[in-house]
Amino acid sequence: MITVETVGKIRRRHLVKGESISRIARETGLSRNTVKRYLRNAATDGLETVTVAFKLALEAGAVSSDYVLNAISRLKAPPRSAESGRARHS
């Protein structure tokens, strides 16, 4: 399972030390796409959003990176209005 600390280490290795995504993926056992997604999400969504998503995943007992990415999407989505869930009858 990927932890908040792991994402921080990935970001430091890539952004501070300049290590390649391929090397990070190989040494962590993650796919290159997963490493890229976490780097991109932390950069575009902010580390706070990623941290909250990880906390939600841990609370749910999720072990999938897909769960975390879905949580990020939900956090970024605009709030739904009460009327959006109702069927329209004309």
> What confidence tens digit (pLDDT) does each residue in 77-88 have?
665 655 555 555
| Mean pLDDT, range 10-18, rounded to an integer | 86
pTM of model > 0.75: no
SS3 string of the chain? Answer: CCCHHHHHHHHHHHHHCCCCHHHHHHHHCCCHHHHHHHHHHHHHHCHHHHHHHHHHHHHHCCCCHHHHHHHHHHHHCCCCCHHHHCCCCC
Cα distance between residue 50 and residue 75, in whole Å: 9
| Mean pLDDT, range 12-41, rounded to an integer | 90
Mean pLDDT, the chain, integer: 76
